[in-house]
Amino acid sequence: MAVLFKKMARKHPRTKLVSYHPVVKSVKRVDRHDVAKLVADETTLNPMEAEMALAQLEKVLVRLLLQGYTVQMGEWASFNLTVTSDGAASEAECTAALIKQVRAHCRFTAKFRAQLQDADFVLATSLTETRKKKEQEEGE
């Protein structure tokens, strides 16, 4: 199946000229339960085992990040923590108390990103129109 997109009008901040940009439109949100079913179809795990494995992966990933590790997940991504903080006037004043927010950062590998370049895109409204035509034909 193709990736859907819609057309979005955006104003340039300085020139105020409007230009249209394609923006990816999500079909639906898939949760961990759905992913587990798909993983089970690709492995010898049953859906409950796959879901448990995904839950444990999340727990282990959080634990490793909180211990200061960067976690490399094969040839598809690595995870690490980043922070936002206030600055300090001197090195002595620079303490953990200045940290405002902790974020998890996921960096996908070049190989993974290259695989995504094979995406086929379809205008979302054209798919909707195709579905309506099929429904009309089936109703006749």
pLDDT at 140: 65
pLDDT at 130: 64
Q: End-to-end distance of the chain based on CA atoms, in angstroms?
A: 27
Whole-prediction pTM: 0.72
Question: Residue 84: which of 66, 69, 103, 67 has the closest Cα?
Answer: 103
Match domain 3-12+19-139 to its CATH number in 3.40.30.10, 1.10.10.10, 1.10.730.10, 4.10.520.10: 4.10.520.10
pLDDT at 135: 67
pLDDT at 33: 92
Domain ranges of the chain: 3-12+19-139
Mean pLDDT (10-residue bins), the chain, 140 residues: 88 90 90 94 95 96 97 95 95 94 96 94 76 68
pLDDT at 26: 87
Q: Find out whether 38 and 31 touch, Cβ atoms under 8 Å.
A: no
